[in-house]
A and B are shown apart, each in its own frame.
Chain A
């Protein structure tokens, strides 16, 4: 079992829909990151969380430390949001390196 599990693996939405991507982890962490990767492109760090909730534009990220769960929400989705979204954690036992989920492929159709 992976230490970081994401769901769903693939998600297709219509433009304007509200989107939620989930991430669960099984061990203690010091921080959780949400990353975005476009096809053939680099990786962009969207959020780093250790508690609570963060918002940036149409993106919202939440984390529940007790339940070992985080969600990434996209409001009013747009085709340019189509990308792979990756959850990554800094384990308490492994310093500052990241352990990654498998990613969620999001496609937003016009």
Chain B
């Protein structure tokens, strides 16, 4: 029973390129969360998705960032026209339905994005 799978582990992009980060949730988990950890800072919420639905995107920057969780396949966090300030570790987490009593919350290993 694989955990939350994120790829790539490390991603280097030049300024202006696009970055695509992938997250496959744990088997049986229908909720996906993306969090960002800037250098020397704490984790911050970005977006919460269920299959084919964005539930809460209040933490997403207004421009250049988008996320999806299609019916088939992994969740994708997409950053267009990357800038140096996007360099960070991006973590994905998954959980079963939030009403499940005592539900688990499992994190992936993260994608370290470096913009050069």
Residues of A in contact with B (beta carbons under 8 Å apart): 33, 35, 40-45, 48, 86, 88, 94-103
Contacts and interface: CB of A to CB of B under 8 A. Distances in A.
A4 B48 CA distance: 20
Nearest to A45: B105
Nearest to B34: A97
A96 B98 contact: yes
Interface residues of B, number: 25
Q: 8 shortest A-B CB distances, which residue pairs?
A: A42-B109, A96-B98, A43-B107, A100-B43, A102-B42, A97-B45, A100-B42, A97-B48
B58 to A, nearest CB: 8
B110 A43 contact: yes
B91 interface: yes
A95 B48 CA distance: 10
B102 interface: yes
A34 to B, nearest CB: 11
B86 to A, nearest CB: 19
A86 B35 CA distance: 14
B17 to A, nearest CB: 23
Contacts of B112: 40
Contacts of B108: 42
Contacts of A98: 33, 35, 43, 45, 93, 105
A100 B44 contact: yes
